[in-house]
Amino acid sequence: MPIDHATLSVSNQRAQNITILGATGSVGLNTLDVISRHPERYSVFALSGMTQIGLLTKLCLLHRPQYAVVTHEQDARALQNTLLQFGTETLVLVAEAGLETIAAHPQVDTVVSAIVGAAGLKPTLAAVNAGKKILLANKEALVMSGALFMQAVRRSAAILLPIDSEHNAIFQCLHDGHARTLADAGVRRIVLTASGGPFRSTPLNAMNDITPDQACAHPTWPMGRKISVDSATMMNKGLELIEACWLFDATPDQVEVVIHPQSVIHSLVDYVDGSMLAQLGNPDMRTPISHALAWPERIDSGVKPLDLCDVARLDFEPPDENRFPCLALARQVAQWGGTAPATLNAANEVAVEAFLSRRIGFTQIAQVIGDVLDQMPVTAANDLETVLAADAKARSLSIRWLAERDK
Ligand code: NDP
Ligand code: MG
């Protein structure tokens, strides 16, 4: 995407108004931590949450945004009453329309897209269509609607900066950002690193005994429950492979996945001259968030510096797609394109939720997704309605899969 540095530095002269979609989550709270360190640079314009209304109330009292958005009418009324009692002027909006309003509001400079799952798609697209600077954590939105999403970015001249740590690392290693094609930039391939999750060495025959709490105990990154399960199944890396294809205009064959248990190298770019550039740092989301917030400048993130002697060694191994079939499914879907990624994503969301509520075992997550993909024809995804229809159909087939299994 073409980037106008002159415009960026002019707009840096006043505090940037930030909307955080998903402020009560792991990425949202990390973003607020960074913003709080730089009050002269950033001002919180709007925050959203869904179930954690107590936390959202505290965040509103602390940051005094102009808007807050919640999903349910009843929560909106209660939050508005509480905020009025404390004398704040925050206006509470509700549901998807509210999210789209705070994403596209003319006073907003930057939107942090940190809602989890398909629920983030429409508000993120609203920010894209309004030409905002978007810090993208919500990979599911891009996975579902990749071609449409990137077309909208180009049309509106929005600035799309990845804060998923791997993609942020790649962005940093591609010295011209997205300005050129990979071939023009002399890139041979992109290497996505993966921690391998908590079950990197667990034998296949022990995997169905895995509990939700074990799956959510990630060895290197503290995250929300859905992405933690995705990391444990390696679907997260599969979604990230698709995400990388769209962000960097790469084919699936140009994206390699390597297990790196220390999570110190966040990803790499391999150039045709034999150079390999990597971005290193402690595993802390405040680094990619700070990088994207301040880009093209650099600001303090609060992350402690990396002590290489403390790290001492960096290990690498190939992923085992036999024990982690979700990665193979995602790679297949990346090749198919069209509506297939939306189908994969929706089936995964339903299956992960079923695993977290102990309806299915860990290894059945991949079975649900594989069976739903088998039942869904892949069509071109030329408009949002088609993508949303594939999402809805995949969800209903997944729910049917669960119901039949419960019989
Ligand atoms: P969390 O579960 O911690 O937070 C999700 C946020 O979205 C919360 O604010 C939650 O509100 C809100 N939310 C959840 N469902 C809905 C919905 N249906 N409608 C509106 N809002 C909703 O997730 P994470 O912060 O871990 O992840 C957010 C996104 O960032 C995901 O797409 C993930 O893949 C991506 N990401 C996360 C990383 C991390 O380190 N956590 C790293 C890289 C990417 P509430 O909590 O109030 O219910
Ligand atoms: Mg990641």
Per-residue confidence (pLDDT) for residue 194, from 0 to 100:
98
With a 6 Å cutoff on the Cβ, whether 34 touches ligand 1 is: no
Q: What is the DSSP letter of 219?
A: S
Largest Cα–Cα distance in the chain? 64
Distance 250 CA to ligand 1 centre (A): 26
Write the residue with the smallest CA distance to atom 30 of ligand 1.
137
**Mutational test site, ligand 1, from 75, 124, 149, 227, max ligand atoms within 8 Å of CB:** 227
The verdict on 139 and 204 lying in the same domain is no
Q: Which of 50, 282, 301, 348 to mutate to test the pocket of ligand 1 (most atoms within 8 A of CB)?
A: 50
**Residue 87 CB contacts under 8 Å (≥ 6 apart), including other chains:** none
Q: How many CB atoms lie within 10 A of CB 5?
A: 8
Task: Name residues whose C-beta falls within 8 Å of residue 46's C-beta, 6 or more positions apart in sequence.
Answer: 19, 20, 65, 66, 67, 68, 69, 102, 105, 108
Amino acid code (one letter) for 316: F
Q: Are residues 190 and 244 in the same domain?
A: yes
CATH of the domain at 371: 1.10.1740.10
Token pair 């391939």 is found at: 189
Nearest ligand for residue 166 CA: 2
Given 99, 134, 163, which residue is the final one in a domain?
Answer: 163
Among residues 105, 136, 163, which one ends one of the domains? 163
Token pair of 397 as six digits: 């087939």
Per the domain annotation, does 172 fall within a domain?
yes
Task: Report the pLDDT value the prediction gives residue 187, as an integer from 0 to 100.
Answer: 96
Q: Is the CB of 26 under 6 A from ligand 1?
A: yes
Q: Using the 3D structure, point to which of 117, 140, 163 is the last residue of a domain.
A: 163
299, part of any domain: no
User: pLDDT per position in the chain (407 positions), as tens?
Assistant: 434 444 444 455 799 999 999 999 999 999 999 999 999 999 999 999 999 999 999 999 999 999 999 999 999 999 999 999 999 999 999 999 999 999 999 999 999 999 999 999 999 999 999 999 999 999 999 999 999 999 999 999 899 999 999 999 999 999 765 557 899 899 999 999 999 999 999 999 999 899 999 999 988 888 999 999 999 999 999 999 999 999 999 999 999 999 999 999 999 999 999 999 999 999 999 999 999 999 999 999 999 999 999 999 999 999 999 999 999 999 999 999 999 999 999 999 999 999 999 999 999 999 999 999 999 999 999 999 999 999 999 999 999 999 998 88
Cα angle 94-96-98, degrees, rounded to a multiple of 5: 45
For tokens 């503290």, the residue is 222
In this structure, the answer to whether residues 101 and 135 fall within a common structural domain is: yes
The enclosing domain of 22 has a CATH number of 3.40.50.720
Domains identified in the chain, total number: 3
pLDDT at 152: 98
- Over the stretch 161-185, which tens digit does the pLDDT of each residue have? 999 999 999 999 997 655 578 998 9
Q: Per residue in 144-160, is it b (16+ CB within 10 Å) or e — as a string?
A: bbbebbbebbeeeebbb
pLDDT tens-digit readout, 21-50: 999 999 999 999 999 999 999 999 999 999
Give residue 241's pLDDT: 98
pLDDT for res 218: 87
The answer as to whether 9 is a domain residue is no
Distance 203 CA to ligand 1 centre (A): 30
Which pLDDT score, from 0 to 100, does residue 7 have?
Answer: 46
User: How far apart are the CA of 270 and the centre of ligand 1, in A?
Assistant: 31
Give percent of the chain above pLDDT 90: 92
Q: CB of 94 closer than 6 A to ligand 1?
A: no
Whether the CB-CB separation of 109 and 16 falls below 8 Å is answered with yes
Q: How far apart, in whole angstroms, are the C-alpha atoms of residue 266 and residue 125?
A: 27
Q: What distance in Å separates the CA atoms of residue 199 and residue 124, rounded to the nearest whole number?
A: 32
Q: 211 and 241, same structural domain?
A: yes
Distance, CA of 206 to CA of 290 (rounded, Å) = 40
Of 281, 272, 279, 236, nearest to 254 by C-alpha is 272
Same domain, yes or no, for 184 and 318?
yes
pLDDT number for residue 12: 53
Q: How far apart are CA 80 and CA 384, in angstroms?
A: 33
Q: For 76-113, give one letter per residue: b (16+ CB within 10 A) or e.
A: beebbebbeeeebebebbbeeebbbbbbbbeebbbbbb
Asked if 277 and 227 sit in the same domain, the reply is yes
| Residue 8 Cβ < 6 Å to ligand 1 | no
Check if 140 has its Cβ closer than 6 Å to any atom of ligand 1.
Answer: yes
333 CA from centroid of ligand 1 (Å): 24
Q: Domain containing 373: what range? A: 337-407
Q: Residue 237 C-alpha to ligand 2 middle, in angstroms?
A: 7
